[in-house]
Amino acid sequence: MLERLLAYLHNWFIRERTTGDFTIADGHFTLPFLLNGQYFRILGSALNDGLYIYGDTIKDGDGNETELQDEAFNGAVWALGIPKGVITLAKDITDWEAKYGDAVASPYSSESFGGYAYTKASSAGSTSGGAYGWETAFETRLSQYRKLPGCH
């Protein structure tokens, strides 16, 4: 979710961009400009593009242990400084999606009363009376971190 959130915000909280030739060998990626626990993004890799957490054990952007695929590539690695508030927001959105995601994704709304029930189509994702997604539910909290597309 964190990677989706950063892409949605158009804000990766970039501290440093390093470009050039990189090698991942035996699942290890040594990057002296990163601190243990720091988020980083790989770009230009055929096998490993994405958001990760640096350390003795590499984790994906959501904190799950993962293995990088061995490869040599010419690309970029961004050292990130993601605020704790954004990480908390990503967790809150994940919890919200677990609770409301199925209902939001469904094009139907239902009602039943006194032995009578009906289901009608609705416009999922609509903010005008229908269901809506996390982008609308968290709009106020998202706005403080959002950048305009193309701004870095």
CB 125 within 8 A of CB 104: yes
In 4-25, which positions are buried (b, 16+ CB within 10 angstroms) versus exposed (e)? ebbeebebbbeeeeeeeebebe
**Residue 31 within a domain:** yes
How many independent structural domains does the chain possess?
2
* Whether residue 41 is found in the same domain as residue 75: yes
Residue 139: give the domain boundaries: 84-143
Sheet (strand 71-80) strand order: 14-24, 71-80, 39-43, 50-53, 59-60
When mean pLDDT is compared across 40-49, 106-115, 134-143, the lowest value belongs to 106-115
The whole-model pTM stands at 0.79
CB 6 within 8 A of CB 54: no
What pLDDT sits at residue 122? 46
What pLDDT sits at residue 95? 96
- Report whether pLDDT(116) > 80: no
What pLDDT sits at residue 128? 42
* Whether residue 59 is found in the same domain as residue 9: yes
Tell me the per-residue pLDDT of 50-78, one tens digit each, with 9 for 90 and over: 999 999 899 999 999 999 999 999 999 99
* Whether residue 56 is found in the same domain as residue 104: no
**Residue 8 within a domain:** yes
* Whether residue 76 is found in the same domain as residue 94: no
* Whether residue 18 is found in the same domain as residue 46: yes
